[in-house]
Structure 1
Amino acid sequence: MPNLVYTKAPSCPRCTENATQIVAQSPVAGAWTMALCPTCYYTWRSTEPDYAVKREAMSKDFYIDPTKIEKGRVMPEIPPLRT
């Protein structure tokens, strides 16, 4: 059973960054907490299954090397709407 509430944001399971933040809590006290990684923008709730919140349970294909994020593909601009 996952921990339902984080008192301190855990390290990011995707890129291992330690500067994660708690960004939301459930409106029902103690139901869940949501964390955000400011490096890779991964977000997760404390109630997610292990494969989404524990690095050792995650597929290695989902890992991100934080040093390579800058070299990632840039998203193209969205063109203006035609009128």
Structure 2
Amino acid sequence: MKCVRCLHDTAAKFAEAPDKSGAWEMYACSRCNFTWRNTEEPEVITPELRDKNFQFTQEVSDLQILVPVPPLKK
């Protein structure tokens, strides 16, 4: 399934309404870590309507390297 944020085919459904009513479903992208519900506003879950400033267009490898957390002191 295509992610609405990074537009890669790396998203999947990971949760649904516990009462099995189909009232909502949740999706997550394994590439950019974006999560969304199928009940979000169209401006959030429709790539053509999303604000381009909120699209993830970088390659993950191009992102800044996070500073590692040092080990706990004894």
TM-score bracket for this pair, using the shorter chain length: 0.7 to 0.9
What whole-Å deviation, never above 9, does each CA across 1:50-78 have from its counterpart, x for those lacking one? 12111111110111125x22110122234
Residue 64 of structure 2 aligns with an amino acid whose one-letter code is R
- Matching residue of 2:65: 74
What TM-score do you get using the length of structure 2 for normalisation? 0.80
User: Which structure has the highest strand share of the two?
Assistant: 2
Name stretches of at least 5 consecutive residues in structure 2 with no aligned partner.
none
| Identical columns (%) | 30
- Matching residue of 1:26: 17
Coordinate RMSD, CA, aligned: 1.8
User: 2:41 matched to 1:49?
Assistant: yes
Q: CA deviation at 1:80?
A: 5.5
> Using the alignment, how far apart are the partners of 1:41 and 1:77 within structure 2?
19
> Using the alignment, how far apart are the partners of 2:35 and 2:22 within structure 1?
18
Q: CA deviation at 1:30?
A: 0.9
Distance 1:80 1:60, change over 3 A: same
